[in-house]
Chains A and B, each alone.
Chain A
């Protein structure tokens, strides 16, 4: 019975316009179409989506207020963002060097805002309530992984690898030290975090009058999400082609790790936090997603030895499609089943 429910949810999710536009983007790359979304337009859409969900979250917080359960959920978000990179790192070390393992572990510790937005849209489409405070949870989960990733690298990278030694003419030189000022700035004041937290606060302080003025802006949300996913489909397919090296391992890791993180998220929500179905799904998807914008950029600067040809394709071309196509309805089905028990 549970399998039947899950399959129906997966089908329903699969045939929603945003997901179909994602496939259209991927298809356009497969058939070598010249379909292209200008970079600045795509950037505008991502800013719009962050601003919209931030403002909406702030408005919901204005109405629902703050409680101990919300504090518990936010604390759980923070803890998961700090803990996830550690176990990811040790698994990745089986195949990769310290730098690449630390950088990829950081992407899994952080979150993908668009995956979260797609999950919110999924809940809205099946009329399941969700808490606006989960947006704050997402903002909290963006940054810690960047710091943990650099710390892991600092902790375990004692020696130069053979390639670096060869580059340095077999003379041992100290690898560049990370600039913690820049790292902390990238972690806590990057554009996504600023806009998300800023919009949340503006939505909270402006209350009903602010929301009334903002409503026409929110009305185009679904169309913009579909457009953004079309662009993501194009970029994900292009990046998938650049995936090299341990492809089988990366595909396995990119699908099994979200499942493992999601399982942890579901169990935490059910047995520790006692969260609602909607909040449980959003927390689970935050745990299961991986960052493909903020963290790879921060890692490129903080750990230049790490190859972005691993971090971006895994997070964008494997984890992201897996979560939005199969993950969201699958996690929802399990959460709903657990709640009925």
Chain B
């Protein structure tokens, strides 16, 4: 039996498992191919929904489904997370000590938002990157926030979903406007970058909106620590910003299993070929989504498109082919700008994101993509994804 083991049951891992289960349905029935998905527990979170939990009061349970209900027949689910991967012996060890041998392994282990990586941040801030329960704490805090300075801060890069801090600022603005208290709230946006959004073309659109909505930009602020008692966030140069409410994007790192397996950089991101998604020096191993070190958005759409590319490559490889699919770096990050408007940050490795103005249509598209998410990670709506994204990966001959 040829066995593919996928580590991580988020967007990328789940879609990849389902695509392989469909592609190899006959071989799986015959026992010639095995697809195992190793993830911690049985909860699957639609992470973009955390923003709605934090700023619109959505029920945290509404963004969670059982992973087992999302998997196609033929996927063997393991609900005990991986502790270590021996890439030489090709064996995964789970946290409980079970050994899972493989022929191909895919790291879809994601990114971990970890406030513990910055002194004072856990005590002094709230965030929506750790999960829906933490996001709900923001909603609770907003209910009692009568006035003062609300700060949205990017404490370190890279982090999941690059547009999400901007969305948080816009949604805060919207929340206070709808409540009628906007006049008594100062909103500050603290970022290490020179502008509101890292990519200049997108920032050119966001900056005037910040000015229009009264969101104050604090650029070039490399956060170092938070003094929770004094309610101040400090930079590496010793400057500080006062806050009454701090909503921070925590520092992120790779999954523990990556570090334990000795394949990540110092922050736990996996070095891969940015087009084939193969792990450096290990052609039988792939990594997709947030887990990699490639300079591209850590987002569900990227994980989705990379999962499709790797599914194509494994379909060829397991049948003895000499080709591999190459991903073109397509990103497509929706950004809500408040008051029912959104824009998409789209580009590839070879084309920077272009400028586009926020529209109601983009907002509707963002909402629609969210509503079909659960189906798309089961392989559904592929015609729509293909029609919208076009070819995002193509097969190429492997070097001899």
Q: Do A and B bind each other?
A: no
